[in-house]
């Protein structure tokens, strides 16, 4: 069996997920600076699974609340609208895919949330991109990997064994094998879901951000986040590993080697979010 082309991956659209309605509704509501807590709470309350996840997060030991949070409005008041926006999108993405061949989904989503959290941190540090948008793009950066595993499991199984999706060199391995990589697939899926051009450009460009003209800072931020998470994959990062850091991309977004070396680890940055993963 030959590997599917990028177009062929999306030929059988009935087998591919659609973006949950609650995500569309909440993105619209939360884009309004005048949105009230009750408006947001009502949108979330219609999704019982999402409501349960948000309440579980609000009551998690990470936040150390002294009394039980029992309503979405209380949870939003405590977590803040900005956090709720990113949590809603991430939570729904993790629930969109129930089972994928050759993929340990909890591990995959932990990786994605770490990239998202690192991207948000780096965007804030550089002020080159919106931190919330960087988080959302980071959380979705590898969703194309799931599509590839669904459509062509026979080809992806051996590749996942030889070079896991969170390893250095994975994107290059996919380009060599298929002529495209999971970032390209993620961008195509985001386009089908009618995400913004800015979002699609960052997903399609994060693997080679210096090739995107004009340079896209969001793609550069996600590139650095992916690299930083991969660096920690096999244990704590060593100073010597930073000798090979993506210096050109760092300079393009206004970040130094020290800013990546001294930042909290991706697992620390994502600690509050990982409670959402079953």
Higher pLDDT, 99 or 210: 210
CATH topology of domain 97-276: Hypothetical protein af1432 (1.10.3210)
Lookup: tokens for 98: 């129930």
240: confidence class by pLDDT, cuts 50, 70, 90: low
* 3-state DSSP assignment of residue 164: coil
Contacts of 49 (CB under 8 A, 6+ apart): 95
Across 32-36, 115-119, 135-139, least confident range: 32-36
Domain ranges in the chain are: 7-81, 97-276
Check residue 1 and give its pLDDT. 44
pLDDT tens for each residue of 130-175: 887 898 899 889 999 999 999 899 999 999 999 999 988 899 999 9
Per the CB < 8 A criterion, the answer to whether 102 and 156 are in contact is yes
Per-residue pLDDT at 237 exceeds 60: no
Can you tell me the mean pLDDT for 81-87?
70
Cα 166 off chain centre by: 12
* CA-wise closest residue to 93 among 139, 28, 27: 139
What is the C-alpha to C-alpha distance for residues 211 and 181, in angstroms, rounded to an integer? 15
What is the C-alpha to C-alpha distance for residues 26 and 32, in angstroms, rounded to an integer? 10
* 3-state DSSP assignment of residue 98: coil
What is the C-alpha to C-alpha distance for residues 23 and 88, in angstroms, rounded to an integer? 7
* CA-wise closest residue to 41 among 88, 97, 7, 90: 88
What is the C-alpha to C-alpha distance for residues 126 and 86, in angstroms, rounded to an integer? 19
Scanning the structure block, which residue is given the tokens 């409670």? 275
Question: Is-cis flag, bond preceding 214, omega within 30?
Answer: yes
């Amino acid at each position: 069996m030959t590997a599917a082309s990028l177009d062929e991956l999306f030929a059988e659209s009935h087998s591919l997920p659609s973006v949950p309605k609650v995500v569309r509704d909440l993105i619209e509501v939360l884009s309004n600076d005048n949105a009230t807590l009750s408006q947001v709470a009502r949108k979330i309350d219609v999704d019982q699974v999402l409501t349960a996840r948000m309440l579980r997060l609000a009551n998690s030991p990470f936040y150390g609340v002294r009394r039980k949070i029992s309503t979405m409005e209380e949870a939003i008041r405590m977590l803040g609208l900005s956090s709720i926006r990113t949590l809603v999108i991430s939570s729904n993405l993790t629930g969109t895919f129930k089972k994928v061949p050759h993929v340990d989904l909890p591990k995959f989503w932990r990786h994605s949330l770490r990239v998202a959290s690192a991207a948000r941190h780096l965007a804030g540090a550089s002020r080159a991109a919106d931190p919330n948008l960087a988080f959302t793009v980071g959380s979705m950066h590898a969703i194309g990997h799931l599509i590839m595993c669904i459509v062509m499991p026979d080809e992806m199984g051996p590749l996942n064994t030889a070079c896991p999706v969170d390893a250095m060199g994975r994107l290059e391995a996919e380009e060599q094998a298929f002529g495209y990589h999971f970032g390209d697939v993620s961008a195509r899926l985001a386009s089908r879901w009618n995400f913004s051009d800015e979002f699609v450009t960052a997903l399609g460009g994060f693997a080679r951000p210096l090739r995107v003209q004009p340079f896209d800072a969001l793609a550069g931020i996600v590139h650095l986040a992916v690299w930083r998470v991969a660096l920690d994959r096999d244990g704590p990062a060593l100073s010597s590993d930073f000798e090979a850091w993506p210096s050109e991309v760092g300079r393009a977004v206004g970040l130094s080697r020290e800013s990546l070396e001294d930042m909290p680890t991706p697992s620390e940055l994502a600690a509050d979010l990982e409670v959402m993963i079953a």
